[in-house]
Amino acid sequence: MLNTADENRRRHDLHPDHPVWLFGYGSLIYKADFPYLARRPASITGWARRFWQGSHDHRGTPDKPGRVVTLIEAPGMVCAGMAYRITPDVFEHLDHREKNGYLRFRTPLTFADGDLADGLVYIATEDNAAFLGQADEQAIAEHIARSEGPSGSNRDYLLHLAKALRELGALDEHVFRIEQFLLAGND
């Protein structure tokens, strides 16, 4: 199942008058192409960001998918990102944007100031058809270097994400090592 938009609509019964928090850990950190009521740095615990999801619709094509991030369970790890307070009608756009294998899950959020809240997050689990899985970080960088799709180059996705994480003050060894390999390959 590549298109998960319909499944996401069925997963959560959201009241139209009750805004919810959405946690972003990939392009949602730096590309908020949707209306929101508030935006706050946040993190979730027990998850690690990994470039293990295929992108057939944004940073690649059906024949040559790019690589984008998803979350992998990782006890004790903290994944930094950005939380957005949104009205439920915004999910119409987001479910389409994240349709390539991502499902919405509930998650506890911790904001940078220590406040806590419950929210939703999109995760592409390993049982979705677009999941590419684990690979050597240099091989991931090489894959990213040659991938492009309707939303632009996969290279730009990686570089924008790395920059956004630095601006948050977040350390992500996986993302930064892939970035190093990508940039070294251009020398």
- Separation of alpha carbons 51 and 91, rounded Å: 24
Question: Containing domain of residue 124, as a range?
Answer: 5-184
**What is the count of structural domains for the chain?**
1
Q: What is the pLDDT of residues 135-173, one digit of tens each?
A: 999 999 999 999 999 999 999 999 999 999 999 999 999
pTM of the entire structure?
0.92
Q: What is the CATH number of the domain that holds 156?
A: 3.10.490.10
Instruction: Show which residues are catalytic.
Output: 98
pLDDT band at 73 (very low <50, low <70, confident <90, very high): very high
Please report, for residues 112, 135, 143, 159, the alpha-carbon distance to residue 178 in angstroms, rounded to integers and kept in the order given: 26, 11, 10, 10
